[in-house]
């Protein structure tokens, strides 16, 4: 793995007062958060979208997938692979959530609402990587060994997102990230439809729908914390925004390209799958969703944090516009995921 710098982080121990807040919300979480989970028996499974290996006509259906995939350009597959690899690093994400002082499941089978949510959320998310992985395997368009190496490197590297084991920072990060993944999968669904692959559009659309449900749950937890502890949660929001939200797969590596995540992100930006504009829009969405502008009774530091996050979206958009104007013609580079075929950044 390439050498990388890691932020020096405080590993905050949550004060007893904050622990009591989460304990007091366990019944609320059971009633208001667990409803965003779907029962297993009513959930879609990856096999619902793919040819059954024991079914008659299996090879014919696989050939149909491969024929449709031939009509989809390589840059789309770079983004789809990047999204799949991000989903496959799920063990890292559960570890991050479980490391939070309140979400730490000491028994691995706790029946509190927070621990039930974490395990069931992980179980729902697990289907996303499984489905995209199997589709890509059947498509014949990608180098699965290179993709598998990238996944192994990524899980082995972890992630450096500066949430400091704080549940406040972690929940704000996850609220943002779930919306970002919803947008990304929604846009890959739109592009698949434009390229004439309705089945692939359906796959990406169902994953996006899951991400939207999960976004709703995490944003509702933060909304509740704004009611109970507005000063500290707005400080955490501003802290997370100052650090900037780092995408969870930012340590992506395939054994060759040390800047693989930046290159994948550049293709996603060019295709409109996930862009700098989306980043600003998400910040604005969360500011409005949590009614940050309407907060009253804050401390002096709380008011500064409130002003910072409320003024942030237009500042991000101005910076993005300046960067776009200065941008030069992007080069084309080979991606190992697609057998070293070149794609414009």
Tell me, yes or no, if 44 is annotated catalytic: yes
d(CA 197, CA 184): 17
114 tagged catalytic: no
Nearest-CA neighbor of 2 among 340, 250, 266?
A: 250
Q: Is 275 a catalytic residue?
A: no
Catalytic residue among 125, 130, 143, 197: 125
How far apart CA 310 and CA 304 sit, in angstroms, is: 10
Contacts of residue 205, defined as CB under 8 A and 6 or more positions apart, other chains included, come to 185, 186, 189
Q: Which of 150, 181, 219, 336 is catalytic?
A: 181
Indicate which residue of 210, 215, 220, 239 is catalytic: 210
- Annotated active-site residue 115? The verdict is no
Catalytic residue (choose from 178, 220, 232, 257) = 178
- Mark whether 121 is an active-site residue: no
Angle at CA of residue 332, ends 326 and 337, nearest 5°: 125
Query: What's phi and psi for 10, nearest 5 deg?
Result: -80, 135
From 214, 254, 257, 336, active-site residue: 214
Contact between residue 334 and residue 321 where contact means Cβ atoms under 8 Å apart: no
Spell out the residues 6+ positions from residue 24 whose beta carbon is closer than 8 angstroms to its own: none
Residue 214 known to be catalytic:
yes
* 128 among known catalytic residues: yes
Spatial distance between the Cα atoms of 142 and 66, rounded to a whole number of angstroms: 11
**List 128, 143, 290, 336, catalytic entry:** 128
Which residues are known catalytic residues? 44, 87, 125, 128, 178, 181, 210-211, 214
């Amino acid at each position: 793995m390439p050498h990388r710098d890691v932020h020096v982080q405080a590993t905050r121990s949550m004060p007893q007062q904050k622990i009591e807040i989460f304990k007091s919300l366990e019944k609320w979480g059971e009633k208001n958060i667990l409803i965003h989970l779907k029962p297993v028996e009513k959930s879609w499974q990856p096999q619902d979208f793919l040819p059954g290996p024991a079914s008659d006509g299996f090879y014919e259906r696989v050939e149909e997938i491969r024929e449709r995939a031939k009509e989809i350009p390589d840059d789309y597959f770079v983004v789809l692979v990047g999204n799949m690899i991000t989903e496959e690093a799920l063990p890292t994400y559960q570890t991050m959530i479980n490391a939070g002082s309140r979400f730490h499941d000491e028994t691995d089978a706790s029946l509190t609402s927070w621990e039930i949510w974490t395990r069931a959320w992980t179980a729902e998310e697990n289907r996303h990587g499984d489905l995209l992985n199997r589709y890509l395997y059947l498509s014949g368009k990608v180098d699965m060994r290179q993709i598998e190496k990238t996944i192994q490197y990524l899980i082995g590297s972890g992630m450096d997102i500066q949430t400091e084991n704080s549940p406040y920072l972690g929940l704000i990060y996850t609220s943002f990230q779930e919306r970002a993944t919803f947008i990304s999968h929604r846009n890959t669904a739109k592009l698949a439809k434009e390229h004439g692959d309705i089945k692939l559009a359906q796959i990406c659309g169902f994953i996006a729908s899951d991400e939207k449900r999960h976004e709703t749950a995490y944003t509702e937890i933060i909304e509740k914390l704004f009611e109970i502890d507005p000063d500290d949660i707005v400080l955490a929001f501003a802290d997370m925004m100052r650090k900037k939200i780092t995408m969870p797969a930012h340590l992506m590596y395939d054994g060759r390209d040390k800047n693989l995540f930046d290159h994948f992100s550049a293709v996603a930006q060019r295709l409109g799958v996930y862009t700098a504009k989306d980043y600003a829009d998400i910040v604005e969405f969360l500011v409005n969703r949590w009614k940050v502008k309407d907060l009253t009774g804050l401390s002096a530091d709380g008011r500064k944090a409130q002003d910072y996050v409320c003024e942030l979206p237009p500042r991000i958009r101005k910076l993005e516009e300046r960067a776009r104007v200065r941008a030069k013609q992007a080069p084309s580079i080979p991606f190992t995921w697609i057998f070293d075929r070149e794609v414009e950044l």
